[in-house]
Amino acid sequence: MKNILITGGAGFIGSHVVRRLVTRYPEYHIINLDLLTYAGNLENLRDIEGANNYTFIKGDIADKEMVNKLFHLYDINTVIHLAAESHVDRSIDDPLAFARTNIMGTLNLLEVARDFWKGRTDVLFYHISTDEVYGSLGSEGFFTEKSPYQPNSPYSASKAGSDHFVRAYGETYGLPYITSNCSNNYGPNQFPEKLIPLMINNIISNKPLPVYGDGNYTRDWLYVIDHAEAIDLILHKAETGETYNIGGFNEWKNIDLVRLLCTLIDQRLNRAQGSSEKLITFVKDRPGHDKRYAIDASKIHKDLGWKPGVTFQQGLALTIDWYLSNKEWLEHVTSGEYREYYEKRYE
């Protein structure tokens, strides 16, 4: 019997992981701990909120007393840790918030787990991280599990710090752990401050499309449901102490990707071809902007047989359709505080 504490389960990736585990494993109890920051949204989980094996708790991973109570109350034997401040631009504006949640919050969870599990080996702390901890690639090569850590943004530095603490708890206290580092995700429910949903939202509403610098920055894109599948496989099949890189074998320069989104949405909305491309606006570059990320995902393929389940064409079509049919969700998450933040940034 697994009693799984999923942190950040109301966020983008977390909600897909929660849905997958709640529906595929009715014998597990899934406890979703989420602070519901601007990025967390219970609308992401409406379809499963009444499930018998699911419990939602609103709370902060940095609140030790509360986390400790949860471990005791639900006899937690597995943690899948996704809660984080996750947006690079926000980390440039407010690095301390990232240190607080991503480093101190993770450390707090580790402390509670260490104390509650007391040397048990039939438990697992599964930490979800990013390829951004490895820094930036030149035009050649890929990140592997052996790449050195060279984080460049406050976000990636805070995630690197959390990765190191997880590893240190394994080495020092014998805490059973696994870490996976994934490339850029896209798909339904992603907050529209990240590149793909921001561009989809702005194209739909005929707003400028802000491309940083010359747009010649490369990211490796993975459909979020493929990431959730990889997490499920790692949870059940990977050895403790392992790390896995997860990626889409799918590199795109930002400018090419934005042009592709314009074309696909023009077709979908029966607009004249080329009309949305006119919205592209080159804006001031992000400081410390990493040039290229690309993952070598051969280890997870070799060990666990994982590979992405959808092509980029399929994933983008599903994503665009989702945003077009969920305008209320978009309207809701972009109103209020976020609208002010965005308007201050660009308008």
Query: Minimal distance in Å, beta carbon 121 to ligand TYD?
Result: 35
Q: Is 132 a catalytic residue?
A: yes
Active site residue 131: yes
User: Catalytic: 226?
Assistant: no
When binding is defined by CB under 6 A, the residue of 210, 247, 248, 315 that contacts ligand TYD is 210
| CA separation for the pair 274, 82 (Å, rounded) | 39
Query: Could you tell me how many residues of this chain bind ligand TYD (CB under 6 A)?
Result: 13
User: Which residues, including other chains, have CB under 8 Å from residue 176's CB and lie 6 or more apart?
Assistant: 120, 121, 123, 124, 125, 170, 240, 241
User: Applying CB under 6 A, which of residues 158, 254, 276, 319 lies at the interface with ligand TYD?
Assistant: 254
Task: Give the C-alpha separation, 212 to 287, whole Å.
Answer: 10
The residue among 63, 83, 169, 90 whose CA lies nearest residue 123 is 169
User: Cβ 269 to ligand NAD, closest distance in Å?
Assistant: 26
Q: Say which entry of ligand NAD, ligand TYD, none residue 212 contacts (CB below 5 to 8 A, set by partner kind).
A: ligand TYD
Using CA atoms of 337, 46, 24, 181 in order, give the dihedral in degrees to the nearest 10.
Answer: 0
Please identify which residue in the block is written with the tokens 């939202």: 201
- What three-state secondary structure class fits 227? helix
300 lies in the binding site for ligand TYD (CB under 6 A): no
CB of 57 to ligand TYD, least distance (A): 28
> Rule CB under 6 A: is residue 13 a binding residue for ligand TYD?
no
In the complex, minimum distance from the CB of residue 132 to ligand NAD, in angstroms, rounded to a whole number: 8
Q: How far is the CB of 309 from ligand TYD (least distance, A)?
A: 22
The half-sphere exposure of 209 on its side-chain side, counting CA atoms within 13 A, is 28
Residues 162-191 that bind ligand TYD (CB under 6 A): 184
Shortest distance, CB of residue 312 to ligand NAD, whole angstroms? 15
| Spatial contact of 59 and 33, defined as CB atoms under 8 Å apart | yes
How many CB atoms sit inside 10 A of residue 50's CB? 7
Residue 47's alpha-carbon distances to 16, 23, 274, in angstroms, are 11, 10, 38
Sequence-distant (≥ 6) Cβ neighbours of residue 28 within 8 angstroms: 1, 2, 3, 4, 21, 22, 53
Among 62, 82, 84, 211, binds ligand TYD (CB under 6 A): 211
Q: How far apart are CA 227 and CA 239, in angstroms?
A: 18
Q: Which of 127, 194, 259, 292 binds ligand TYD (CB under 6 A)?
A: 194
Q: Catalytic: which of 34, 131, 163, 193?
A: 131
The residues binding ligand NAD (CB under 6 A) are 7-8, 10-14, 33-37, 39-40, 60-62, 82-84, 86, 101, 105, 128-130, 159, 182, 184-185, 191
57 bridge partner residues: 33
Interaction partner, residue 88 (ligand NAD, ligand TYD, none; CB < 5-8 Å by kind): ligand TYD
Q: Of residues 132, 163, 193, 220, which has the active-site annotation? A: 132
Q: Which is nearer to ligand NAD, 143 or 191 (CB)?
A: 191
Select which of 54, 126, 134, 155 is catalytic: 155
Q: Which stretch binds ligand TYD (CB under 6 A): 205-213, 227-235, 301-309, 328-336?
A: 205-213
Distance CA 333, CA 36 (A): 12
Going by C-alpha positions, the residue among 155, 209, 200 that lies closest to residue 325 is: 200
Q: Specify the residue, 199 or 238, whose C-beta has the smaller distance to ligand TYD.
A: 199
123 binds ligand TYD, rule: CB under 6 A: no
Catalytic site positions = 131-132, 155
Which residues contribute to the site for ligand TYD (CB under 6 A)?
Answer: 88, 132, 184, 194-195, 198, 210-212, 217, 219, 254, 286
